[in-house]
Structure 1
Amino acid sequence: MSLRIAVALAATFGAYLLITTEAQARPDLVDFQGNYSPGTIVVKTNERHLYLVLDPSHAVRYPVGVGKAGKQWAGVTRIDGKYRNPAWSPPAEVKHDKPSIPDVIPGGSPRNPMGVAAMTLAGGQYAIHGTNVPNSVGGFVSYGCIRMLNADISDLYQRVSVGTTVVVSR
């Protein structure tokens, strides 16, 4: 087998794994205990999971990427906006750390860190959003945002509305 064919096969197989992993992303229905109203989003940073509470005993669970060391936060907020394919402007802290980053990355761009959808959180510069880097989900990777697989943010986006309570705990 020539090197060119081997490289083409490897690239095709790698793209297939990326597509099937993303396509197969499915939230889990899990037992969940806590004093939260149905419809509340609970993010457990140390677990790197987001839960959408369904009833007093069950939730839908999604894997998430969360704030890296020194960028984590905890508190109660709410969703104050929902956006499909949003453009993204880096906050001042990101721009300071990465001065070469563009001032605006258009929605739909593969370089846009928001992925296919974002839900902004009241009281800050944070959002629950998708990602175009699926292998970052499950890690301590962001400046405080909650990062989800694009398939998962699309699912959650349809299940919640502006005003939904979001509880972030460590």
Structure 2
Amino acid sequence: MTNWIDISTSQHQLKLFNGSQLLKTYPIGVGKMLTPTPTGTYTIINKHPNPGGPFGVLWMGLSAPHYGIHGTDNPSSIGHYVSHGCIRMYNHDVLELSSMVSIGTGVLIRK
């Protein structure tokens, strides 16, 4: 079985699965009304440590251009509709998640 990610924008949750087994649930921040997080099925296409700016300690780019899963320099934004469409995580959470997924990992984003 391979790991994959399920993101619920309405529940502000990112869940990591191995096959059908839930491994971990993380709180997230997602896109605001004018810049919503895109729904659909994507893959992780790259990882960049220390991207700088508001992206926290790590950026994982998605196959949806300009969107990614990343850390944040504003931890109080987690659990809210705050981003320009990206998925924000606490820095320690995004580092943990990154250690458990590889480039090519599937990401399902839904409401």
If the length of structure 2 is used for normalisation, what is the TM-score? Answer: 0.93
Deviation at 1:71, TM superposition (A): 1.9
CA separation of 1:133 and 1:163: change in aligned 2, threshold 3 A: same
Q: Does residue 126 of the first structure (1) align with residue 90 of the second (2)?
A: no
- Which residue of 1 is the match for residue 7 of structure 2? 43
Q: Is the 8 A contact 1:38 1:56 kept in 2?
A: no
Q: Which runs of 5+ in 2 are unaligned?
A: none
Amino acid in structure 2 at the alignment position of 1:155: E
Q: Which runs of 5+ in 1 are unaligned?
A: 1-36, 87-106
- Which residue of 2 is the match for residue 146 of structure 1? 87
Deviation at 1:124, TM superposition (A): 1.3
Deviation at 1:55, TM superposition (A): 4.1
The structure with the greater share of residues assigned to strand is 2
Amino acid in structure 1 at the alignment position of 2:5: I
Q: Does residue 166 of the first structure (1) align with residue 107 of the second (2)?
A: yes
Q: Does residue 68 of the first structure (1) align with residue 32 of the second (2)?
A: yes
The structure with the greater share of residues assigned to helix is 1
Deviation digits for residues 106-154 of structure 1 (CA, Å, limit 9, x no counterpart)? x2xxxx1110001000131101000011000110000100000000001
Q: Secondary structure at the match of 1:46?
A: coil
If the length of structure 1 is used for normalisation, what is the TM-score? Answer: 0.62
- Which residue of 2 is the match for residue 56 of structure 1? 20
Deviation digits for residues 8-50 of structure 1 (CA, Å, limit 9, x no counterpart)? xxxxxxxxxxxxxxxxxxxxxxxxxxxxx64110100000000
- Which residue of 2 is the match for residue 113 of structure 1? 54
- Return structure 1 stretches of 4+ with deviation > 3 angstroms: none
Amino acid in structure 1 at the alignment position of 2:70: H
Q: Is the 8 A contact 1:116 1:130 kept in 2?
A: yes
Highest relative contact order (Cα 8 Å, sep 6+), 1 or 2? 2
Aligned length: 110
Q: Equivalents in 1 of 2:94, 2:106: separation in Å?
A: 16
